[in-house]
A and B are shown apart, each in its own frame.
Chain A
């Protein structure tokens, strides 16, 4: 590198740092450090994959939803998850990675998705609890991402957050209906909350002391709060909602701390978290196999559309 090139490189880096320090957005064609780009590609891709895989536990209940009203709501929600995946894939592509490559990395297991989707949706109450707790936790994570330093990611998150609020409210309304129903329905609701509570807390990631990337991500304005801060916020928001539903959150250590003006709560089982992340959750193999099969079964549709487009172009050229 010549002296001039070196000084140009420093100038670009200084420009980037100034933009971040001024809380301005970085846009796709701006210079950015290679590690900033790589971190964003990994995070946005993982987020997009989570939306796409997240269609599976709920899609599983589309044909069994108990009424036409519940079916149409669930269908709209699953379609939204597909949409969210696409907004995010589009944001990731602005960083110079190809969609085909992202799909490939997902179905070969080289990129991860949220650990929560490796748990099964066993009862219909799970549909409500996924909306209430899982989407509630996702919203806690996602609202600060609307101010992420990378413009396309932040803009995608604004769209997603608007739509997530429907997801959470439909879930809560479903559960409220069950809570006002029969003893059997209330028992089903409680059983579902018992299964999903801890995995929902794990959605915020490992505790801050074990999250080595957090500091850098916060310095870059990609993350705005630490995992533990967001987890605390989620618990504080959820406790009164649980009371409104008349369910118990399965944590004997959960209580209001007057001094901290926040809830104390127990520690999730981080060994379970590590196991699910590394592939040993109840549904990891099933989720990936399903996604791979869907991709392979769709190959003929992609090929047919490509052939049709080529034919139309040839016809137009012939007319010219």
Chain B
């Protein structure tokens, strides 16, 4: 776990730009606890109304895929071309398909 500043953990910050959009990762910060992380995130990442909602989560609680296993992890999707609409040929005169 990364604990800078005398043991303050690292938090990842996610901001929803406006209603209807997903929360998007914007960066990270250190804080003593969750509430402080939320306040710091507001001050650092939303000084110009960039956010309608903020999530903070401790970095060490995130489970992530490993770039070393990228191929074995993602390749199974690569040979399934039948999952795409362009796989199917339809006569051009048939409407609305």
Contact = CB atoms under 8 A, between A and B. Distances in A.
Interface string A77-94: 001100100110011011
Q: Among the interface residues A30, A99, A152, A312, which one has the most CB atoms of the partner chain B within 10 A?
A: A99
Kindly state the interface size class of chain B when it binds its partner.
20 to 34
B52 interface: no
| A interface majority secondary structure | helix
A309 B67 contact: no
| B interface majority secondary structure | mixed
Given A27-B67, A90-B28, A90-B29, A98 B4 contact: yes
A63 interface: no
A306 B8 CA distance: 7
B67 A99 contact: no
Contacts of B43: 83
B67 A306 contact: no
Given A29-B66, A30-B67, A83 B44 contact: yes
A156 interface: yes
A7 B10 CA distance: 35
Nearest to A27: B67
B4 A309 contact: no
Contacts of B36: 305, 309
A305 B2 contact: no
A305 B32 contact: yes
A27 B25 CA distance: 14
Contacts of A313: 33
Contacts of B66: 29
A302 B67 contact: no
A256 interface: no
A9 B6 CA distance: 36
B39 to A, nearest CB: 11
Contacts of B47: 76, 79-80, 83, 163
A99 B44 contact: no
A100 interface: yes
A91 B29 CA distance: 10
18 contacts: A31-B67, A79-B47, A90-B28, A93-B2, A93-B10, A93-B28, A99-B4, A99-B5, A100-B4, A100-B5, A100-B6, A159-B26, A163-B48, A303-B6, A306-B7, A308-B33, A309-B32, A312-B33
